[in-house]
Amino acid sequence: MLIGSVQRRWISVAAFVGAVVVLAAGAVAQGSLERRIGAAVEKARLGKAVVGVSIVDADTERELATFSTGDSADPALIPASNLKLLTTGAALLTLGAEFEFRTSFVLVGDQLVIEGCGDPALADPDLLSKMQTGIEQFLDRLADSIAAAAKGRIAHIVIDDRVFDRELVHPTWPIDQLNRAYCAPVCGVNFHRNILSVFPSPASRAGEPPSLRTEPAAPWIEFDRQRARTIREGDTAVWIERGNSPWQFRLHGAVRTAPTDAVRVAVREPAPIFGRLLGDRIAARQRGATPNVRLVEQEEPVASTQPGATVAAIVRTPISVVLERCNVDSDNLYAEALLKLTGHHVTRQPGSWSNGAAVVRMILKDRIGSQHAASAVISDGSGLSRGNRISARTLAAWIANVANDDRVGESYIRSMAIAKEEGTLRRRFRNKTLANEVRAKSGYINGVRSLSGLVLETTPSGTLVSAGSGRRLAFAILVNDIPAGADERAKELHENIVEILDNYISENRKTAAAGGR
């Protein structure tokens, strides 16, 4: 995310070219693969948990193995964050791998209109940190550009968020967690990941309220600190409650030492807060009053189409950055923005959870068949909702289909985390020695553990083998109704099945090499 330019993700990856892999005579049989998976599930001792597993050849899109427990041969299960693989694939197929988000700042008379595009990366604090800058510098640079382009005093800031509807929070998200960063609202104009970052510090004496600073900072952001105290023994543990207004908060808990990382709280109305922060800085440059901030009315014309309109600044984010934050870092806001934007792009109506889900089901039907689409229930884009349902067979078939697409397959594969190296998979597979590359997405909500993605054949030196010469296996492993205390066994099952697939590729490679001598 940059002002006036594009941030690119520099990762060296071998190019993938769609091709059919022909197995040599004597290759490992499908039945053997299925038996190994069944044995791994039995060994996991997950009690009454429902398990769905599917393995698909990503080049031929042929199912290699399927396994399930419970009453159904193909159970529709809660996927948790594995749903993001469905959302990102649909967004890529709809928007294209070269798409970029553009937030425009348009001057019309004495108004500054912020024309939103739903970009979830706009002033994302983690991306700003990677760019070695911060939120204050971002706002200052933006205000400098706008003030320099303005021909007179800016009296009003209008936020045009009509790319999305104004249902900011999904109705099935957990009500008691809406202050958490992972439940941040979803807006047509997102800002700073729609969170406030808080940095508490202990007071000089025990028992006193801690001090704090916020990012972004503003004198009108109010904090009640009386429910928190400084301690000299024990661990720092704090949480933040939202107040009655969008800029009122309460700090709870105890502070012994300043936390290394920010304590983050989701804000209720991020777009007006963004407008007010930007307005403060514009007012300082114009030596006048802070502009009035309001949301656009539905019938107002688009500012950039009006006579005399001037585009003062544009903030761009390539879709590759959004995909990475979604699938590698598992950021829910990014997935929800992609779902709503997919709905908007196809229907030309404000993007919503409803039209986004309808478009995804339509793409599912067109790409892998009506039976898969009919069995899928899509509630949100991130998998945070417990209303989502998808079978392992549908998810694996989807991953193989999108990975095999000439236009977007490479981007889709690159968007997933590399096991042992990135994001939510950095600490996974620590006890496994993998001969091939695993790119996948993990998922977790209470009682649910999931892992889906691809095992990609590599050479002994670690170089990816091109699709025409190597194997690519798509997999989906969904576990629901996990009994208390069995979470780690479910995660171990994921890794054991992936290890089976890794060995399967290596065994086929040896068999093919022996047949060629």
DSSP for 357-416?
Answer: HHHHHHHHHHHH-HHHHHH-B---SSS-STT-BEEHHHHHHHHHHHHT-TTTHHHHHHTS
Round to whole Å and give the CA distance between 437 and 299. Answer: 52
Query: How far is it, in rounded angstroms, from Cα 407 to Cα 420?
Result: 28
> What is the token pair recorded at 95?
């928007």
- Full residue range of the structural domain in which residue 315 is found: 100-320
Q: Are residues 150 and 56 in the same domain?
A: no
Q: In a 10 Å sphere around its CB, with 0-12 CB exposed, 13-18 middle and 19+ buried, how is residue 234 labelled?
A: exposed
Strand order in the sheet with 63-68: 63-68, 50-57, 472-480, 448-456, 437-445, 417-418
Q: Assess whether 163 and 289 both reside in one domain.
A: yes
Tell which of 320, 341, 371 closes a domain.
320
Please identify which residue in the block is written with the tokens 């629901």. Answer: 480
Pair 54, 105 in one domain:
no
In a domain, 464, yes or no: yes
C-beta of residue 309 within 8 angstroms of C-beta of residue 108: yes
Q: Where are the alpha helices (DSSP H) in 14-99?
A: 30-44, 83-95
Shared domain for 218 and 118, answered yes or no, is yes
CB burial of 79-108 (b: ≥16 within 10 Å; e: otherwise) equals bbbbbbbbbbbbbbbbbebebbbebbbbbb
Cα(155)–Cα(289) distance, rounded to whole angstroms?
Answer: 8
Among 128, 64, 88, which Cα is nearest to 356's?
Answer: 88
User: What pLDDT was estimated at residue 196?
Assistant: 97
Q: Are residues 168 and 267 in the same domain?
A: yes
Exposure of 235 by Cβ count < 10 A (0-12 exposed, 13-18 middle, 19+ buried)? exposed
DSSP code for 345: H
pLDDT of residue 469: 66
CATH of the domain at 448: 3.40.710.10
Per-position b or e across 492-506, b if 16+ CB within 10 A of its CB: bbbbbbbbbbbbbbb
298 and 398 share one domain: no
User: Which pLDDT score is estimated for 9?
Assistant: 34
Residue 243 identity:
G
Distance CA 150, CA 106 (A): 10
Looking at the structure, do residues 183 and 310 belong to the same domain, yes or no? yes
Q: Say what the pLDDT of residue 1 is.
A: 54
pLDDT tens-place string over residues 19-42: 222 222 234 455 689 999 999 999
Residues 44 and 135 in one domain: no
Instruction: Report the 10 Å Cβ neighbour count for 329.
Output: 13
Q: Same structural domain for residues 303 and 222?
A: yes
Whether 427 is in a domain gets the answer yes
Pair 213, 256 in one domain: yes
Q: Does residue 119 fall inside a structural domain?
A: yes
Residues linked to residue 351 through DSSP beta bridges, in sequence order: 164
Taking a C-beta distance cutoff of 8 angstroms, is the pair 106, 189 a contact? no
Query: Is residue 476 a contact partner of residue 398, using CB atoms and an 8 Å limit?
Result: no
> Among 470, 401, 478, 405, which residue's Cα sits nearest to residue 437?
470
CA angle 234, 236, 238 (to 5 degrees): 135
pLDDT at 51: 97
- Element spanning 255, H or E: strand 248-255
Domain check: are 146 and 231 in the same one?
yes
Instruction: Give how many domains the chain has, as a whole number.
Output: 2
320, 335, 358 — which closes off a domain? 320
In this structure, the answer to whether residues 302 and 397 fall within a common structural domain is: no
DSSP string covering 468-503, please?
Answer: TTS-EEEEEEEEESPPTT-HHHHHHHHHHHHHHHHH
Buried b (16+ CB within 10 A) or exposed e, 160-178: bbbbbbeebebeebeeeee
Q: How far apart are CA 425 and CA 417, in angstroms?
A: 6
Name the domain boundary from 282, 297, 320: 320
158 belongs to a structural domain = yes
For 417-441, b/e burial (b = at least 16 CB within 10 A) is bbbeebbbbeebbeeeebbbbbbbb
- Type of residue found at 431: N
Distances (CA, A) of 50 to 46, 236, 365, 371, 488: 8, 38, 26, 21, 15
- Name the phi and psi angles at 131, rounded to 5: -90, 5
Q: Give the pLDDT of the chain (517 residues) as one tens digit per residue.
A: 544 433 333 333 333 222 222 222 234 455 689 999 999 999 999 999 999 999 999 999 999 999 999 888 899 999 999 999 999 999 999 999 999 999 999 999 999 999 999 999 999 999 999 999 999 999 999 999 999 999 889 999 999 999 999 999 999 999 999 999 999 999 999 999 999 999 999 999 999 999 999 999 999 999 999 999 999 999 999 999 999 999 999 999 999 999 889 999 999 999 999 999 999 999 999 988 999 999 999 999 999 999 999 999 999 999 999 999 999 999 999 999 999 999 999 999 999 999 999 999 999 999 999 999 999 999 999 999 999 999 999 999 999 999 999 999 999 999 999 999 999 999 999 999 999 999 999 999 999 999 999 999 998 877 888 766 678 999 999 999 999 999 999 999 999 999 999 999 998 888 777 765 4
pLDDT tens per residue, range 410-429: 999 999 999 999 999 999 99
- Beta-sheet pairing, 390-391 with 76-77: antiparallel
Report the pLDDT value the prediction gives residue 468, as an integer from 0 to 100. 62
Query: Residue 1: inside a domain, yes or no?
Result: no
- 28 conformational bin, left if phi > 0, alpha if psi -120 to 50, beta if neither: beta
Q: Would you say residue 87 lies in a domain?
A: no
Task: Classify residue 262: in a domain, yes or no.
Answer: yes
For residue 162, being part of any structural domain is answered with yes
